[in-house]
Amino acid sequence: MESRRIVDHISFSEEKMRKNALFDSPHLFYDAYCLLPGQAQKVHSHDGSDKVYFVMRGTGRFTVGDEEEDLTEGNAVIARAGTPHGVRNDSEDQLILLVTMAPRPT
Protein backbone atom coordinates (compact mmCIF):
# COMPACT_ATOMS: atom_id res chain seq x y z
CA MET A 1 0.00 0.00 0.00
CA GLU A 2 1.28 3.43 -0.89
CA SER A 3 0.65 6.01 1.81
CA ARG A 4 2.05 9.39 2.76
CA ARG A 5 2.11 11.51 5.89
CA ILE A 6 1.13 14.85 4.46
CA VAL A 7 2.95 16.82 7.15
CA ASP A 8 6.22 15.22 5.99
CA HIS A 9 5.73 16.86 2.58
CA ILE A 10 5.04 20.41 3.74
CA SER A 11 7.83 22.81 2.80
CA PHE A 12 7.97 26.39 1.61
CA SER A 13 10.28 28.43 -0.61
CA GLU A 14 10.99 32.14 -0.18
CA GLU A 15 11.29 32.43 -3.96
CA LYS A 16 7.91 31.11 -5.11
CA MET A 17 5.00 28.82 -4.32
CA ARG A 18 6.27 25.28 -3.77
CA LYS A 19 4.59 22.18 -5.23
CA ASN A 20 5.39 19.07 -3.20
CA ALA A 21 4.42 15.80 -4.90
CA LEU A 22 2.51 13.28 -2.79
CA PHE A 23 1.33 10.87 -5.50
CA ASP A 24 1.98 10.85 -9.21
CA SER A 25 0.78 8.50 -11.93
CA PRO A 26 0.05 8.63 -15.64
CA HIS A 27 -3.60 9.31 -14.68
CA LEU A 28 -3.38 12.02 -12.01
CA PHE A 29 -1.22 13.93 -9.59
CA TYR A 30 -1.82 14.78 -5.94
CA ASP A 31 0.36 17.55 -4.52
CA ALA A 32 0.70 19.79 -1.50
CA TYR A 33 0.98 23.41 -2.66
CA CYS A 34 2.65 25.64 -0.06
CA LEU A 35 2.34 29.40 -0.37
CA LEU A 36 3.89 32.00 1.88
CA PRO A 37 2.15 35.36 2.31
CA GLY A 38 2.17 37.24 -1.00
CA GLN A 39 2.82 34.18 -3.17
CA ALA A 40 0.47 33.07 -5.95
CA GLN A 41 -0.20 30.60 -8.70
CA LYS A 42 -1.02 32.72 -11.74
CA VAL A 43 -4.35 32.23 -13.47
CA HIS A 44 -4.04 29.56 -16.17
CA SER A 45 -6.07 26.68 -17.61
CA HIS A 46 -5.76 23.05 -18.68
CA ASP A 47 -7.82 22.00 -21.68
CA GLY A 48 -8.24 18.33 -20.82
CA SER A 49 -7.96 18.16 -17.02
CA ASP A 50 -10.00 19.04 -13.95
CA LYS A 51 -8.21 20.40 -10.87
CA VAL A 52 -9.44 20.30 -7.27
CA TYR A 53 -7.95 22.47 -4.53
CA PHE A 54 -8.57 21.59 -0.86
CA VAL A 55 -7.55 24.14 1.78
CA MET A 56 -5.68 22.29 4.49
CA ARG A 57 -4.41 25.37 6.35
CA GLY A 58 -4.86 29.11 5.92
CA THR A 59 -6.95 31.22 3.58
CA GLY A 60 -6.57 31.37 -0.19
CA ARG A 61 -8.01 33.81 -2.69
CA PHE A 62 -9.18 31.55 -5.54
CA THR A 63 -10.04 32.55 -9.08
CA VAL A 64 -12.15 30.11 -11.11
CA GLY A 65 -13.52 31.49 -14.36
CA ASP A 66 -14.95 34.96 -13.69
CA GLU A 67 -15.36 34.37 -9.95
CA GLU A 68 -13.05 35.12 -7.02
CA GLU A 69 -13.57 33.94 -3.47
CA ASP A 70 -11.62 33.55 -0.23
CA LEU A 71 -11.72 29.94 0.97
CA THR A 72 -10.57 28.74 4.37
CA GLU A 73 -9.56 25.44 5.97
CA GLY A 74 -11.82 22.54 5.08
CA ASN A 75 -13.13 24.05 1.83
CA ALA A 76 -12.57 22.65 -1.65
CA VAL A 77 -13.09 24.12 -5.11
CA ILE A 78 -12.97 22.58 -8.58
CA ALA A 79 -11.71 24.14 -11.79
CA ARG A 80 -13.20 22.15 -14.65
CA ALA A 81 -11.17 21.49 -17.79
CA GLY A 82 -10.61 24.64 -19.82
CA THR A 83 -11.66 27.01 -17.02
CA PRO A 84 -9.06 29.62 -16.03
CA HIS A 85 -8.03 29.20 -12.38
CA GLY A 86 -5.40 30.27 -9.87
CA VAL A 87 -4.83 31.05 -6.22
CA ARG A 88 -2.99 33.63 -4.18
CA ASN A 89 -2.16 34.05 -0.53
CA ASP A 90 -3.18 37.59 0.42
CA SER A 91 -3.11 36.75 4.14
CA GLU A 92 -0.33 37.07 6.69
CA ASP A 93 -0.31 33.29 7.28
CA GLN A 94 1.01 30.27 5.42
CA LEU A 95 -1.37 28.59 2.97
CA ILE A 96 -1.29 24.82 2.43
CA LEU A 97 -3.43 23.24 -0.29
CA LEU A 98 -3.94 19.65 -1.32
CA VAL A 99 -4.29 19.64 -5.10
CA THR A 100 -5.26 16.88 -7.48
CA MET A 101 -5.58 17.00 -11.23
CA ALA A 102 -6.97 14.33 -13.54
CA PRO A 103 -6.30 13.28 -16.08
CA ARG A 104 -2.69 14.23 -15.56
CA PRO A 105 -1.70 16.94 -18.06
CA THR A 106 0.89 15.96 -20.65
When pLDDT is averaged across residues 43-67 and rounded to a whole number, the result is 97
When pLDDT is averaged across residues 9-19 and rounded to a whole number, the result is 97
Alpha carbon distance 36, 101 (integer Å): 22
Alpha carbon distance 84, 15 (integer Å): 24
47 touches 61 (CB < 8 A):
no
Mind listing the pLDDT tens digit for each residue in 63-72? Answer: 999 999 999 9
What domains does the chain contain, in order, with CATH numbers? 30-102 (2.60.120.10)
Query: Which of 5, 89, 81 lies closest to 97 in space, CA to CA?
Result: 89
Strand pairing category for 85-88 and 40-44: antiparallel
Residues 6+ apart with CB under 8 A from 7: none
Banded pLDDT at 105 (limits 50, 70, 90): confident
Instruction: Please report the sign of the dihedral spanned by the C-alpha atoms of residue 20, residue 22, residue 25, residue 29.
Output: negative
